[in-house]
Amino acid sequence: MKFGVVTFPGSNCDQDLNYVLGKISGGKVISLWHKDSDLQGCDFVFLPGGFSYGDYLRSGAIAKFSPIMKEVILHAQKGGYVMGICNGFQILTECGLLPGALLRNRDTLFICSDVFIKAANDDTLITKFEAPQAPLMIPIAHGEGNYYCDEENRKRLWDNNQILFRYCNSTGEYTPEANLNGSLDNIAGICNTQKNVFGMMPHPERASDIRTGNTDGLKIFNSILQNLPV
């Protein structure tokens, strides 16, 4: 299994992902440039966090036109795995691989904080870790993380178990106070109906090294590595 991590102008979490996937998890990782038109045989493509193209116009709106995204979209449509984290999640909604949009945070301020999230199901590649009902403490850092979709898509997300994670408090309760950005239904991450495209706003790669004092995010990456088809 080969992982690819895309770098856009303004990405700032690509090297974190390379480090976690390669050095910590022991996977084979390829760095992909936004102007590339070849995924180099990667089976699982990651779109990292950051501020692609300076977040001009709106987050992810310009990155979706990068040459590499044509290949990423084709890869996903063929059943290949794709995961977007923070800005990567925003790019996935902009290019239509995931439903909905990420709006300005409820208080319109940039939020950089540890939050708690809980898996909404244990039926996807990234949520099959041990004790999925236990809250994970994962950092967030975004100004546009307020997930929104229309009522039709909202119903579809619930009916098809497409909600991956929801913001909660330290005891696992879904409260308004735990939902710092104001996301619909406390949603922190979703997937597509085929469950091969994943997006989440919190940064698990920033909570995957013992030296940070928090390895809750590593559970998500281990879930991927342990459950990927051989």
- Active-site positions read 86, 203, 205
The whole-number mean pLDDT for each consecutive block of 10 residues of the chain, a chain of 230 residues, reads 96 97 95 96 97 94 97 98 98 98 97 97 92 92 98 98 98 97 98 98 97 96 90
pLDDT at 230 (0 to 100): 67
β pairing state of 111-119 and 163-168: antiparallel
The C-alpha atoms of residue 44 and residue 95 are separated, in whole angstroms, by 18
pLDDT at 130 (0 to 100): 82
Q: Selecting from 3.40.50.300, 3.40.1010.10, 3.40.50.880, 3.40.50.10320, what CATH number does the domain 2-227 have?
A: 3.40.50.880
Look at the block and give the residue holding tokens 């102007």. Answer: 35
Question: Which neighbouring-strand residues pair with 108?
Answer: none
Query: What would the 3-class secondary structure string for the chain be?
Result: CEEEEEECCCECCHHHHHHHHHHHCCCEEEEEECCCCCCCCCCEEEECCECHHHHCCCCCCCHHHCHHHHHHHHHHHCCCEEEEECHHHHHHHHCCCCCCEEECCCCCCCEEEEEEEEECCCCCCCCCCCCCCCCEEEEEEECCCEEECCHHHHHHHHHCCCEEEEEECCCCCCCCCCCCCCCHHHEEEEECCCCCEEEECCCHHHHCEHHHCECCCHHHHHHHHHHCCC
pLDDT at 42 (0 to 100): 97
| Backbone phi, psi, residue 212, to 5° | -85, -10
pLDDT at 229 (0 to 100): 81
pLDDT at 7 (0 to 100): 98
